[in-house]
Structure 1
Amino acid sequence: MRSILLEVCVDDAAGLEAAVEGGADRIELCSALGLGGLTPTAGLMALASKVPVPVYAMIRPRPGNFVFSESEVGMMCIEIDAVRAAGLSGVVLGANLADGRLDLNTLDRLVARAGGMGLTLHRAFDLVPDFSQALESAVALGFERILTSGGEKTAPEGTAQLAAAVEQAGGRISIMPGSGVTEATIAGLLSRLPVSEVHSSCSSAEPAQDPRLVSLGFAPPVTRKTRASLVQGLKADLLTHGRSLLRL
């Protein structure tokens, strides 16, 4: 049976608990998932260090693009040190040049700083002008996997590009589909993509409970909450798919 790993991204203590309860195989730990994920706090990293599954921490010092200044790269190096000190399994990195290509000099520095830890290249990859070239660069830098939607808003929309990346990778690096990966879309994705892992928030939208928090700027009108039931459902679908391949 082909085993497909489920990585769940979370940005708070409740989400971390729900992901573990639901059966996530790995956690991507962030803050501010509504902004695409930023570096998690020291407190959240300390909490995550106690869970029984591997945890990779996002290294991203601000929202917006992935073109980082020298000062920001220095911040990211210190954040990598904090992840190591917390005892987490790995880091999630990405950096672009102004023209969208991967910033190989910055990535080389960050990868060296993270020596000995696991490495995921995040969706900065989706901004590159040449997927093939960027994939080879990711392999050369030593990344374990690329988290990507195939350059589209969601992975289901980028399936053709994802399939080409999987073929080119040839097992040298994992291509991990992310964005729009749900129980409703997973069967279609896996029917076309021979991948070994997928990435999902396993979350649902939840309106703010206190309108005053919204009006004072303390909370957005709607947030997304990780649900253990959604993790369980997606994990069950992955197991079912693996069994169906076994019967072929």
Structure 2
Amino acid sequence: MTEILLEVCVDDADGLLAAIRGGADRVELCSALEVGGLTPTPGLIDLARSLNGSVPVFAMVRPRAGDFSYSDREFESMRKDIECVAKARLAGIVFGANHCDGTLDRHRLEIMAKMAKEFGLGTTLHRSFDLVPNIGEAIALAAEIGIDRILTSGRSAKAIPDGLEDIAKTVEIANGKGIKVMAGAGIRAENVGQLFGRIPFGIWEVHSSCSSVEETNAEKSGQTIAKFGFEPNGGKRRTNESEVRRMKEALGRD
């Protein structure tokens, strides 16, 4: 039986260490996961480089929160970010670009995919895919320009249960096109079995933050900095080593 690969998304140094120690097969390195993940800081990229070892690290390339329709200046910054990832010798990039109608921006995706391949970087099309109006056309485009995999929640806020039908459809269409499908968004050790109950074949990679809510240092000391907008109310979600291990166990990888 083919083993299911676990990719863990993290947005800080402690989460990165937890993912590696917990046994993640690959790490998606971001900042600001509360808005879906943004480009990580140079310091975090450098830390990932120094800790990389045998665990591949893919860096998010997303310059801001919001939609995926970028200005020329934003796109220029994305290209520079790809160069930074390559210089740090990370394993790959996670990226996306759409037109205002949700269709994939072939021109910009092709430029970034070509850059990645020239630098020897792997490529993941992130959940900008979940905004597309036509799954088949988007998969064909991604495969044609050489993207390695698509991360999808099945065009839903959460992959389980709402996205299962679309994920199954994506797997079916992608079959034989040389592109992988990775399921993600709200997947936990408690519910990942539902994914494989609905889609027994074709999903060989799972994406999860493997996180739990932690009381922040400010909350522990009685400070109320959340009212200033410096942190979310109710604690911060952070990748937890034990949650990574639980997910590995749920995937039959303990």
Q: Is 1:212 equivalent to 2:224 in the alignment?
A: yes
Q: Is the contact made by 2:102 and 2:132 (CA closer than 8 Å) also made in structure 1?
A: yes
* CA distances 1:181-239 after superposition (whole Å, capped 9, x unpaired): 10111111012222111000000123444233223332222310110000000001111
CA distance in 2, matches of 1:199, 1:235: 12
* CA distances 1:102-125 after superposition (whole Å, capped 9, x unpaired): 000111111122222100000000
One of 135, 140, 157 as aligned partner of 2:139: 135
Amino acid at match of 2:151: L
Deviates more, 1:186-195 or 1:34-43: 186-195
Q: Is 1:163 equivalent to 2:204 in the alignment?
A: no
Q: Paired residue for 1:228? A: 241
Amino acid at match of 1:63: A
One of 175, 194, 219 as aligned partner of 1:188: 194
Report percent identity of matched pairs. Answer: 48
Q: Is 1:94 equivalent to 2:99 in the alignment?
A: no
2:58 aligned counterpart, secondary structure: strand
Q: Is the contact made by 1:208 and 1:214 (CA closer than 8 Å) also made in structure 2?
A: no
**TM-score, normalization by structure 2:** 0.92
**TM-score, normalization by structure 1:** 0.94
Amino acid at match of 2:9: C
One of 68, 71, 76 as aligned partner of 2:70: 68
Q: Is the contact made by 1:7 and 1:198 (CA closer than 8 Å) also made in structure 2?
A: yes
Q: How far is 1:38 from its partner?
A: 0.4
CA distance in 1, matches of 2:67, 2:57: 24
Amino acid at match of 1:196: W
One of 148, 173, 184 as aligned partner of 1:178: 184
One of 108, 125, 128 as aligned partner of 2:129: 125
Deviates more, 1:164-173 or 1:1-10: 164-173
Q: How far is 1:240 from its partner?
A: 6.2
CA distance in 2, matches of 1:217, 1:122: 27
2:252 aligned counterpart, secondary structure: helix
Give the aligned length: 241
Amino acid at match of 2:101: D
Q: Please provide the CA RMSD for this pair.
A: 1.3
Q: Is the contact made by 1:111 and 1:141 (CA closer than 8 Å) also made in structure 2?
A: yes
Deviates more, 1:5-14 or 1:103-112: 103-112
Q: Paired residue for 1:237? A: 250
Q: Paired residue for 1:203? A: 211
CA distance in 1, matches of 2:244, 2:76: 35
CA distance in 1, matches of 2:215, 2:97: 33
Q: Paired residue for 1:51? A: 52
CA distance in 1, matches of 2:87, 2:231: 31
Uncovered stretches (5+) of structure 2, i.e. residues with no partner: none
Amino acid at match of 1:168: I
Amino acid at match of 1:51: N
Q: Is 1:145 equivalent to 2:126 in the alignment?
A: no
Amino acid at match of 2:166: Q
